[in-house]
Amino acid sequence: MPVITCNCNVCQSADAKDKRLRSSVMLETGGNTFVIDAGPDFRQQMLRKNVKKLDAVLITHGHKDHVNGLDDVRAFNYFQKCPIDVYSQKDVQDILKSFFFYAFEDDKYPGVPEINLCAIENKAFKINDVLITPIEVMHYRLPVFGYRIKDFTYITDANFISGKEIDKMKGSKVIVMNALRRKKHISHFTLDEAVNILQELQPEQAYLTHISHQMGLHADVEKELPPFIHLAYDGLTIEL
Ligand SMILES: [Zn+2]
Ligand SMILES: [Zn+2]
Protein backbone atom coordinates (compact mmCIF):
# COMPACT_ATOMS: atom_id res chain seq x y z
CA MET A 1 0.00 0.00 0.00
CA PRO A 2 -0.58 2.43 -1.58
CA VAL A 3 -1.88 0.51 -4.58
CA ILE A 4 -0.43 1.72 -7.89
CA THR A 5 -2.90 4.13 -9.58
CA CYS A 6 -5.35 4.16 -6.62
CA ASN A 7 -6.80 7.48 -5.51
CA CYS A 8 -8.85 6.20 -2.55
CA ASN A 9 -8.57 7.95 0.82
CA VAL A 10 -6.56 5.06 2.28
CA CYS A 11 -3.98 4.96 -0.52
CA GLN A 12 -3.72 8.77 -0.34
CA SER A 13 -3.58 8.87 3.49
CA ALA A 14 -0.74 10.81 5.13
CA ASP A 15 -0.70 8.41 8.13
CA ALA A 16 2.51 6.33 8.05
CA LYS A 17 0.46 3.36 9.34
CA ASP A 18 -1.49 3.39 6.07
CA LYS A 19 1.72 2.72 4.12
CA ARG A 20 2.45 -0.98 4.02
CA LEU A 21 5.02 -3.19 2.34
CA ARG A 22 4.24 -6.85 1.60
CA SER A 23 3.52 -9.04 4.67
CA SER A 24 6.48 -10.58 6.46
CA VAL A 25 7.86 -10.93 9.97
CA MET A 26 11.35 -11.19 11.42
CA LEU A 27 11.95 -13.17 14.62
CA GLU A 28 14.96 -12.97 16.89
CA THR A 29 15.27 -15.80 19.37
CA GLY A 30 18.19 -17.56 21.07
CA GLY A 31 20.70 -15.68 18.93
CA ASN A 32 18.92 -16.65 15.70
CA THR A 33 17.30 -14.39 13.16
CA PHE A 34 14.50 -15.92 11.13
CA VAL A 35 12.28 -14.28 8.56
CA ILE A 36 8.86 -15.62 7.59
CA ASP A 37 8.27 -14.94 3.86
CA ALA A 38 10.46 -12.89 1.58
CA GLY A 39 8.11 -10.97 -0.70
CA PRO A 40 9.00 -8.33 -3.29
CA ASP A 41 9.86 -5.84 -0.51
CA PHE A 42 12.33 -8.15 1.29
CA ARG A 43 15.35 -6.04 0.31
CA GLN A 44 13.78 -2.82 1.54
CA GLN A 45 12.60 -4.51 4.75
CA MET A 46 16.08 -5.86 5.52
CA LEU A 47 17.63 -2.45 4.86
CA ARG A 48 15.03 -0.61 6.91
CA LYS A 49 15.73 -2.75 9.99
CA ASN A 50 19.46 -2.84 9.30
CA VAL A 51 19.48 -6.65 9.46
CA LYS A 52 23.05 -7.97 9.41
CA LYS A 53 22.51 -11.70 9.84
CA LEU A 54 19.92 -14.16 8.61
CA ASP A 55 19.78 -17.78 9.82
CA ALA A 56 16.80 -19.07 7.86
CA VAL A 57 13.74 -18.10 5.86
CA LEU A 58 10.43 -19.87 6.47
CA ILE A 59 7.99 -19.75 3.57
CA THR A 60 4.23 -19.87 4.07
CA HIS A 61 3.33 -20.58 0.42
CA GLY A 62 4.59 -20.01 -3.11
CA HIS A 63 2.64 -16.92 -4.11
CA LYS A 64 4.74 -14.13 -5.55
CA ASP A 65 3.90 -11.61 -2.83
CA HIS A 66 5.52 -14.01 -0.32
CA VAL A 67 8.59 -15.28 -2.17
CA ASN A 68 9.61 -12.82 -4.85
CA GLY A 69 12.35 -11.22 -2.77
CA LEU A 70 14.35 -14.42 -2.26
CA ASP A 71 16.82 -13.35 -4.95
CA ASP A 72 18.10 -10.76 -2.47
CA VAL A 73 19.39 -13.35 0.01
CA ARG A 74 22.54 -13.09 -2.14
CA ALA A 75 23.70 -10.20 0.08
CA PHE A 76 23.55 -12.49 3.13
CA ASN A 77 25.31 -15.25 1.14
CA TYR A 78 28.09 -12.83 0.39
CA PHE A 79 28.63 -11.61 3.95
CA GLN A 80 27.93 -14.88 5.78
CA LYS A 81 29.78 -16.94 3.17
CA CYS A 82 27.12 -19.65 3.13
CA PRO A 83 23.82 -20.52 1.47
CA ILE A 84 20.62 -19.47 3.21
CA ASP A 85 18.33 -22.26 4.41
CA VAL A 86 14.81 -21.80 3.08
CA TYR A 87 12.15 -23.98 4.70
CA SER A 88 8.93 -24.81 2.87
CA GLN A 89 6.57 -27.53 1.84
CA LYS A 90 7.73 -29.79 -0.99
CA ASP A 91 5.40 -28.31 -3.62
CA VAL A 92 6.62 -24.80 -2.75
CA GLN A 93 10.17 -25.97 -3.51
CA ASP A 94 9.07 -26.76 -7.07
CA ILE A 95 7.63 -23.25 -7.40
CA LEU A 96 10.86 -21.69 -6.09
CA LYS A 97 12.91 -23.78 -8.52
CA SER A 98 10.85 -22.41 -11.40
CA PHE A 99 10.76 -18.75 -10.21
CA PHE A 100 14.51 -18.75 -9.46
CA PHE A 101 15.61 -21.37 -12.02
CA TYR A 102 19.04 -19.71 -12.41
CA ALA A 103 19.82 -20.36 -8.74
CA PHE A 104 19.32 -24.11 -9.17
CA GLU A 105 21.19 -24.79 -12.41
CA ASP A 106 24.14 -27.19 -12.36
CA ASP A 107 26.43 -24.65 -13.92
CA LYS A 108 25.51 -21.50 -12.01
CA TYR A 109 26.31 -17.98 -13.10
CA PRO A 110 28.57 -16.42 -10.45
CA GLY A 111 26.74 -14.28 -7.90
CA VAL A 112 23.32 -15.92 -8.13
CA PRO A 113 21.57 -16.38 -4.78
CA GLU A 114 22.58 -19.49 -2.88
CA ILE A 115 19.40 -21.03 -1.56
CA ASN A 116 19.42 -24.29 0.37
CA LEU A 117 15.92 -25.71 0.12
CA CYS A 118 14.76 -27.59 3.22
CA ALA A 119 11.52 -29.55 2.90
CA ILE A 120 9.18 -29.58 5.87
CA GLU A 121 5.94 -31.36 6.54
CA ASN A 122 3.15 -30.54 8.89
CA LYS A 123 5.06 -31.59 11.96
CA ALA A 124 7.31 -29.73 14.40
CA PHE A 125 10.98 -29.32 13.47
CA LYS A 126 14.02 -27.55 14.88
CA ILE A 127 16.35 -24.93 13.47
CA ASN A 128 19.41 -24.48 15.74
CA ASP A 129 17.50 -25.80 18.76
CA VAL A 130 14.48 -23.56 18.16
CA LEU A 131 11.29 -25.60 17.91
CA ILE A 132 9.02 -24.53 15.07
CA THR A 133 5.51 -25.89 14.66
CA PRO A 134 3.83 -25.53 11.26
CA ILE A 135 0.11 -24.82 11.31
CA GLU A 136 -1.64 -25.87 8.12
CA VAL A 137 -4.27 -23.38 7.06
CA MET A 138 -6.27 -23.20 3.83
CA HIS A 139 -5.91 -20.37 1.30
CA TYR A 140 -9.01 -21.31 -0.73
CA ARG A 141 -7.76 -24.70 -2.05
CA LEU A 142 -4.08 -24.19 -1.30
CA PRO A 143 -2.60 -25.54 1.95
CA VAL A 144 -0.45 -22.79 3.48
CA PHE A 145 1.84 -23.05 6.50
CA GLY A 146 1.52 -20.69 9.42
CA TYR A 147 4.19 -21.08 12.10
CA ARG A 148 4.24 -21.18 15.88
CA ILE A 149 7.53 -20.43 17.60
CA LYS A 150 7.27 -20.55 21.39
CA ASP A 151 4.38 -18.23 22.34
CA PHE A 152 4.24 -16.49 18.98
CA THR A 153 2.02 -17.62 16.10
CA TYR A 154 2.01 -16.16 12.61
CA ILE A 155 -0.78 -16.97 10.15
CA THR A 156 -1.15 -15.37 6.76
CA ASP A 157 -3.16 -16.00 3.60
CA ALA A 158 -5.77 -18.17 5.29
CA ASN A 159 -9.51 -18.30 4.93
CA PHE A 160 -9.99 -21.53 6.88
CA ILE A 161 -8.26 -23.22 9.81
CA SER A 162 -9.38 -26.67 10.97
CA GLY A 163 -10.04 -27.39 14.64
CA LYS A 164 -6.96 -29.61 14.80
CA GLU A 165 -4.72 -26.78 13.60
CA ILE A 166 -6.48 -24.19 15.80
CA ASP A 167 -5.53 -26.42 18.76
CA LYS A 168 -1.85 -25.84 17.96
CA MET A 169 -2.38 -22.08 18.27
CA LYS A 170 -3.92 -22.32 21.75
CA GLY A 171 -1.94 -20.68 24.53
CA SER A 172 -0.01 -18.38 22.17
CA LYS A 173 0.64 -15.02 23.83
CA VAL A 174 0.83 -13.20 20.50
CA ILE A 175 -1.00 -14.18 17.34
CA VAL A 176 -0.61 -12.46 13.99
CA MET A 177 -3.46 -13.28 11.64
CA ASN A 178 -4.40 -12.18 8.15
CA ALA A 179 -7.53 -10.07 7.60
CA LEU A 180 -7.86 -8.67 4.09
CA ARG A 181 -10.95 -6.47 4.18
CA ARG A 182 -14.56 -6.36 5.39
CA LYS A 183 -16.18 -7.92 2.32
CA LYS A 184 -16.05 -11.71 1.83
CA HIS A 185 -13.04 -12.97 -0.12
CA ILE A 186 -12.42 -16.35 -1.72
CA SER A 187 -9.02 -16.99 -0.09
CA HIS A 188 -8.49 -14.55 2.80
CA PHE A 189 -10.23 -14.02 6.13
CA THR A 190 -12.39 -10.93 6.44
CA LEU A 191 -12.04 -8.63 9.44
CA ASP A 192 -14.96 -10.33 11.22
CA GLU A 193 -13.72 -13.85 10.49
CA ALA A 194 -10.25 -13.07 11.85
CA VAL A 195 -11.63 -11.28 14.93
CA ASN A 196 -13.97 -14.21 15.69
CA ILE A 197 -11.10 -16.72 15.71
CA LEU A 198 -8.98 -14.43 17.87
CA GLN A 199 -11.87 -13.89 20.30
CA GLU A 200 -12.05 -17.65 20.69
CA LEU A 201 -8.30 -18.08 21.21
CA GLN A 202 -7.90 -15.03 23.48
CA PRO A 203 -4.16 -14.41 23.16
CA GLU A 204 -2.73 -11.54 25.20
CA GLN A 205 -2.18 -9.59 22.01
CA ALA A 206 -3.25 -10.11 18.42
CA TYR A 207 -2.29 -8.25 15.27
CA LEU A 208 -3.98 -8.30 11.90
CA THR A 209 -1.81 -8.37 8.79
CA HIS A 210 -2.06 -8.69 4.97
CA ILE A 211 -4.53 -5.81 5.02
CA SER A 212 -5.96 -4.41 1.77
CA HIS A 213 -6.66 -0.73 1.18
CA GLN A 214 -10.33 -1.76 1.16
CA MET A 215 -10.16 -2.26 4.95
CA GLY A 216 -10.25 1.49 5.60
CA LEU A 217 -7.97 3.91 7.42
CA HIS A 218 -5.72 2.38 10.09
CA ALA A 219 -6.89 4.89 12.70
CA ASP A 220 -10.61 4.23 12.00
CA VAL A 221 -10.39 0.41 12.01
CA GLU A 222 -8.23 0.40 15.14
CA LYS A 223 -11.06 2.11 17.10
CA GLU A 224 -13.53 -0.67 16.25
CA LEU A 225 -11.38 -3.56 17.43
CA PRO A 226 -11.53 -5.37 20.79
CA PRO A 227 -8.79 -4.03 23.14
CA PHE A 228 -6.37 -6.95 22.59
CA ILE A 229 -6.60 -6.87 18.78
CA HIS A 230 -4.74 -4.30 16.69
CA LEU A 231 -3.92 -3.72 13.08
CA ALA A 232 -0.27 -4.49 12.46
CA TYR A 233 1.81 -1.78 10.82
CA ASP A 234 5.20 -1.62 9.19
CA GLY A 235 8.03 -1.56 11.69
CA LEU A 236 5.88 -2.89 14.56
CA THR A 237 8.10 -4.57 17.17
CA ILE A 238 6.88 -6.94 19.85
CA GLU A 239 8.96 -8.28 22.75
CA LEU A 240 8.07 -11.59 24.25
ZN1 LIG B 1 -1.40 -15.96 -1.30
ZN1 LIG C 1 -0.47 -13.02 0.16
Low-confidence ranges of the chain (pLDDT < 70): none
Distance 81 CA to ligand 2 centre (A): 31
How much is the pLDDT for 189? Answer: 98
Distance 26 CA to ligand 2 centre (A): 16
CB 82 within 8 A of CB 56: no
Give every strand in the sheet of 125-127, ordered side by side: 125-127, 130-139, 142-149, 152-155, 174-178, 205-209, 229-231
How much is the pLDDT for 224? Answer: 97
- pTM flag (> 0.95): yes
CB 156 within 8 A of CB 136: no
Closest ligand to C-alpha of residue 187 is: 1
How much is the pLDDT for 53? Answer: 97
Distance 114 CA to ligand 2 centre (A): 24
How much is the pLDDT for 228? Answer: 98
DSSP code string of 73-101: GHHHHHHHTSPEEEEE-HHHHHHHHHHTG
Closest CA to 46 of 97, 92, 80, 91: 80
Query: 47-78: per-residue pLDDT in tens?
Result: 999 999 999 999 999 999 999 999 999 999 99
Distance 158 CA to ligand 1 centre (A): 8
Pairing of strands 152-155, 32-36: unpaired
Q: Other C-beta atoms within 10 Å of 204: how many?
A: 11
Distance 109 CA to ligand 2 centre (A): 30
Closest ligand to C-alpha of residue 39 is: 2
Distance 150 CA to ligand 1 centre (A): 25
